[in-house]
């Protein structure tokens, strides 16, 4: 095989530091076993290597998206030879195509499906939290965010800890942001695109005449997630305080995952019921008709909490099998009673320029009644998906790797 002085491209745009060198290569027709300088062994199938090559027969170099259709190969990609080249890359000869392909050792090591941990593990470990007296959300100074260069170091210094709090705890509060109406859109775009809804790209939370939601009144709101009436209810919500001079109207936030875990411990049957019975979520607006059916608590394939969908004022009539109805209501009332336990809740007052970002499929937010005539309370809000915050956080991690990575 040819010798190369530099490492090959990877099938992505990321940066993969060399944690260890490849010191041995064994192969048979179906796969390769690499030995690393730190003693670790990694095994890769030929078929897996073939489709993860980064050459022009496999990925479009302009996009790094795959163009290879495995079913069009002349045969199973059996391995004729495998060795390490001068640059430390793995070189594999695929017999059926008579093609030699090179693989970046940092990328191979990072994507070792045999030894790696859970690739679907959360980017930031999930930390459940309780509130109670004196508890506050993670709070960060963010003045000047809009003056920073997008995707620059200064922006990253503000966003990285903020995103970490949202990913880990589902909540962060930023201080010192502008109070111009509409500035939320520019702030949100520093993370990702906003999800518009029938309430607009940005929505105004203030008491207004002829309201189309209880949010737009001054009455108290029980703990809830927003838009449970959608098949995919928004993963993130941002609430930006422009004015607040009213008496009352304290914000209340609860970690819905902490409440659900407590329910799982205290009343496992009720928990199981709420993960099984499909409730109806329906808005009762005059000009829209959003309806969705879902369990109140949803778990992922590993049994970890995926989302809670709770909004009593948006629940439609339960349409469940006869024998499920009473247990469903019993479980609901057990949960509702827990939502009133004060130790779950963080309570705080919005100051103008504050922005609260929270996971709308995890946190419950509520509001005390406020005196509409005692001053002004004006929040602007918007929605976004969890994907946006994960992508933005991965890009920050990538930028950090690229800065600290000595290319070889
Ligand atoms: Fe809400």
Output the CA 112–ligand 1 centroid distance in Å: 43
Output the CA 60–ligand 1 centroid distance in Å: 44
Output the CA 398–ligand 1 centroid distance in Å: 34
Output the CA 260–ligand 1 centroid distance in Å: 19
Output the CA 330–ligand 1 centroid distance in Å: 25
Output the CA 364–ligand 1 centroid distance in Å: 8
Domains defined for the chain, CATH in brackets: 22-116 (3.30.2020.30), 139-395 (3.60.130.10)
Output the CA 238–ligand 1 centroid distance in Å: 10
Output the CA 243–ligand 1 centroid distance in Å: 18
Output the CA 366–ligand 1 centroid distance in Å: 7
Residues 206, 297: contact at Cβ < 8 Å?
no
Output the CA 214–ligand 1 centroid distance in Å: 9
The pLDDT averaged over each successive group of 10 residues in the chain (408 residues) is 72 92 98 97 98 96 94 97 97 97 96 86 95 92 94 93 98 97 97 96 84 74 94 97 85 96 98 98 90 97 95 95 98 97 95 97 88 78 98 94 67
Output the CA 365–ligand 1 centroid distance in Å: 6
CA 401 to chain centre: 21
Output the CA 324–ligand 1 centroid distance in Å: 29
Output the CA 368–ligand 1 centroid distance in Å: 12
Output the CA 224–ligand 1 centroid distance in Å: 6
Output the CA 241–ligand 1 centroid distance in Å: 14
């Amino acid at each position: 095989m040819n010798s190369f002085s530099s490492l090959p491209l990877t099938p992505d745009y990321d940066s993969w530091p060399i944690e260890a060198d490849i010191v041995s290569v064994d192969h048979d027709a179906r796969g390769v076993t690499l030995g690393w300088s730190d003693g670790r062994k990694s095994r890769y199938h030929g078929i897996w290597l073939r489709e993860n090559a980064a050459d022009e027969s496999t990925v479009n170099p302009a996009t790094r998206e795959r163009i290879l259709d495995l079913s069009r190969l002349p045969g199973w990609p059996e391995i004729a030879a495998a060795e390490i080249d001068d640059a430390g890359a793995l070189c594999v000869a695929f017999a059926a195509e008579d093609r030699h392909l090179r693989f970046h050792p940092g990328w191979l090591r990072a994507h070792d499906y045999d030894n790696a941990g859970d690739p679907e593990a959360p980017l930031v470990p999930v930390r459940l939290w309780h509130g109670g007296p004196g508890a506050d959300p993670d709070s960060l100074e963010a003045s000047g965010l809009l003056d920073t260069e997008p995707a620059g170091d200064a922006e990253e210094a503000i966003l990285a800890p903020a995103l970490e709090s949202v990913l880990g705890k589902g909540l962060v509060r930023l201080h010192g942001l502008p109070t111009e109406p509409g500035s939320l859109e520019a702030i949100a775009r520093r993370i990702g695109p906003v999800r518009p809804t029938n309430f607009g790209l940005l929505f105004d939370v203030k008491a207004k005449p002829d309201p189309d939601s209880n949010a737009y009144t001054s009455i108290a709101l029980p703990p809830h997630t927003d838009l449970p009436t959608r098949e995919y209810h928004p993963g993130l919500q941002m609430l930006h305080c422009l004015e607040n001079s009213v008496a009352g109207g304290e914000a209340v936030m609860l970690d819905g995952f902490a409440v659900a875990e407590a329910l799982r411990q205290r009343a496992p049957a009720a928990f199981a019921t709420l993960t099984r019975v499909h409730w109806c979520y329906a808005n009762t607006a005059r000009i829209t008709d959003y309806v969705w059916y879902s369990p109140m608590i949803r778990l992922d394939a590993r049994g970890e909490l995926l989302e809670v969908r709770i909004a009593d004022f948006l629940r439609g009539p339960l349409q469940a099998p006869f024998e499920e109805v009473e247990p469903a209501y019993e479980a609901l009332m057990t949960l509702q009673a827990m939502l009133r336990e004060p130790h779950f809740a963080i309570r705080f007052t919005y100051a103008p320029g504050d922005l609260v970002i929270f996971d709308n499929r995890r946190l419950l937010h509520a509001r005390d009644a406020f005196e509409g005539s005692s001053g002004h309370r004006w929040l602007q809000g918007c929605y976004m998906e969890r994907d946006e915050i994960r992508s933005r956080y991965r890009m920050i991690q990538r930028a950090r790797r690229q800065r600290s990575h000595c290319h070889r």
